[in-house]
Chains A and B, each alone.
Chain A
Amino acid sequence: MKTPIRSNLMLVGLLAASLARADTLDGLLAEYKSEGAGPFDTRAGAALWQRKFPSADGAPRACTSCHTSDLTKPGRHAGTGKAIEPLAPSANAKRLTDRRQIEKWLKRNCKWTLGRECTAQEKGDLLSFLRSQ
């Protein structure tokens, strides 16, 4: 009884999410460009994703510390061990659809990983990489 409704709902949901994602990301990338950044490079984003940064506690930090290299798989919070849902939109349609969430996590996680906020260029490269996953 529920299955056809659920699967139809899922399709509509996926469509809505991908529209919201395109909207949100295009808006953010345009803002970064207006700050003088761009063009954005998926490969630069991929490299930044893997890059290890030194930290005060001695253990190098990277995006992959928590999210791993396979973005279609769940990650694991390096400190608390809590599961993190996949970041790849192909595996998790909700991802990159909410501007507030994107900005909040970029700010927090750039500070944790790089020890500073990311530049507009870095954020644009990262988002370009992430949306392609």
Chain B
Amino acid sequence: MKKTLILSLLASAVALITVALVADDDEDRYEAHEREHYGESDQDDDHERYEHASGSGSAYLSDPQYALYKAECGGCHMAYPPAMLPAASWRAMMGNLEDHFGDNAELDVATATQVAGYLDRYAAGRGRGEYGERSWRATQDRTPPLRITQTDYFIGQHHEIPDKMVTGNPQVGSFSRCETCHLGADQGDFDEHGVRIPGYGRWDD
């Protein structure tokens, strides 16, 4: 008797999951379509999206390995667009995860290899994106920078911002927390029109 009840509960659960998954799938497709559309309408703008050789903006986001990258690296900090550093920088970083800016970020070998491959594919200079090109040129013939915030390009873009708005701002704290001010950072959008500094609002230079 009890067994039948459990079985019928299980069966209805499976049916419900199926319905819900199909519904969610439709939703995902719709969102993907919206993203695509949004991306297209931006093409002529001077938005600094992290383009890859494939031509589609923010290609690093649609790579099948992005989910892994986001889970493994994005667990502790923003999943930075790989084009923010040249491949040599990512290689140096992935070779020393035990001391990752004072934190232990060790990965098992299989995962580390996959993440390293992903970063290499979209590193600065791999595509024709404006940012990637500039970042790559600026770092040739030098020790590869390990911090995005130490690249000339980053410094050039941020040097006018007073410390009180970032390092002295309890809601921000550090220039490495892109997403606190760049509201589209998760989508690879770092355009200054999308900047809202907590406690200060828009930024126009």
Contacts and interface: CB of A to CB of B under 8 A. Distances in A.
Given A9-B20, A109-B104, A82 B76 contact: yes
Interface string A1-38: 01001101100100000000000000000000000000
Contacts of A81: 173-174, 177
A107 B111 CA distance: 15
B77 A82 contact: yes
A10 B19 CA distance: 14
Interface string B173-205: 110110000000000000000000000000000
B104 A80 contact: no
Interface in B69-89: 76-78
Kindly state the interface size class of chain B when it binds its partner: 20 to 34
B104 A112 contact: yes
Contacts of B17: 9, 12
Contacts of B103: 79, 108, 112
Q: Is the interface of B mostly helix, strand, loop or mixed?
A: loop
B20 A5 contact: yes
A57 B16 CA distance: 53
B108 interface: yes
B67 interface: no
Q: Is the interface of A mostly helix, strand, loop or mixed?
A: helix
B23 interface: yes
Contacts of B32: none
Interface string A87-101: 000000000000010
B92 interface: no
Given A9-B17, A12-B17, A79-B101, A108 B176 contact: no
A38 B102 CA distance: 32
A43 interface: no
B102 A80 contact: no
A51 interface: no
A109 B76 CA distance: 12
6 contacts: A5-B16, A79-B101, A80-B176, A104-B106, A108-B104, A111-B98
Interface of A: 2, 5-6, 8-9, 12, 57, 77, 79-82, 100, 104, 107-109, 111-112
